Amino acid sequence: MLENVRCALCGADDTRLVAEIDALHIVRCRKCGLIYVNPRYPEGFLQEIYTEQYYDHDGIRNGLEFFGYDDYISDEQNIKITFSKRLKTIESLAHKGRLLDVGCATGFFLDLARSQGWEVLGSEVSEFSADYARERFNLDVRLGTLRQLSLDAGSFDVVTMWDVIEHVVDPLAELQEVWRILRPQGVLSIITPDSGSWMARLLGKRWEEFRRVREHIYFFSRRTMREMLQKAGLEVVRMESADKVFYLGPAIQRLKYYTWDGAVTSTAAKLVYRLGLDKVRVNVNPLTKMTVYARKTE
Residues that bind Zn ion (CB under 5 A): 7, 9-10, 12, 29, 31-32, 34
For the CB of residue 34, give the shortest distance to Zn ion in the complex, in Å: 5
For the CB of residue 11, give the shortest distance to Zn ion in the complex, in Å: 7
Distances (CA, A) of 109 to 99, 266, 294: 11, 32, 19
For the CB of residue 189, give the shortest distance to Zn ion in the complex, in Å: 25
Q: Are 27 and 17 in contact (CB under 8 A)?
A: yes
Query: How far apart are alpha carbons 296 and 188 in whole angstroms?
Result: 8
Which residue(s) pair with 35 in the sheet?
A: 28, 219
Mapped onto helix, strand or coil, the DSSP state of residue 130 is helix
Pairing mode, if any, of strands 156-162 and 98-102?
parallel
For the CB of residue 55, give the shortest distance to Zn ion in the complex, in Å: 33
Shorter beta-carbon distance to Zn ion: residue 38 or 78: 38
For the CB of residue 222, give the shortest distance to Zn ion in the complex, in Å: 16
Cβ neighbours around 223 below 10 Å, total: 12
For the CB of residue 251, give the shortest distance to Zn ion in the complex, in Å: 36
Q: Are 219 and 168 in contact (CB under 8 A)?
A: no
For the CB of residue 198, give the shortest distance to Zn ion in the complex, in Å: 23
Shorter beta-carbon distance to Zn ion: residue 6 or 114: 6
Query: How far apart are alpha carbons 158 and 186 in whole angstroms?
Result: 6
What values do phi and psi take at 20, rounded to 5? -115, 120
Shorter beta-carbon distance to Zn ion: residue 21 or 29: 29
Shorter beta-carbon distance to Zn ion: residue 5 or 49: 5
For the CB of residue 31, give the shortest distance to Zn ion in the complex, in Å: 5
What values do phi and psi take at 130, rounded to 5? -60, -45
Query: How far apart are alpha carbons 144 and 124 in whole angstroms?
Result: 6
Mapped onto helix, strand or coil, the DSSP state of residue 257 is helix
Sign of CA dihedral 4, 6, 7, 9: negative
- Cα–chain-centroid distance for residue 144? 16
Cβ neighbours of residue 177 closer than 8 Å, sequence gap 6 or more: 146, 147
HSE-up of residue 71 (Cα within 13 Å, Cβ side): 13
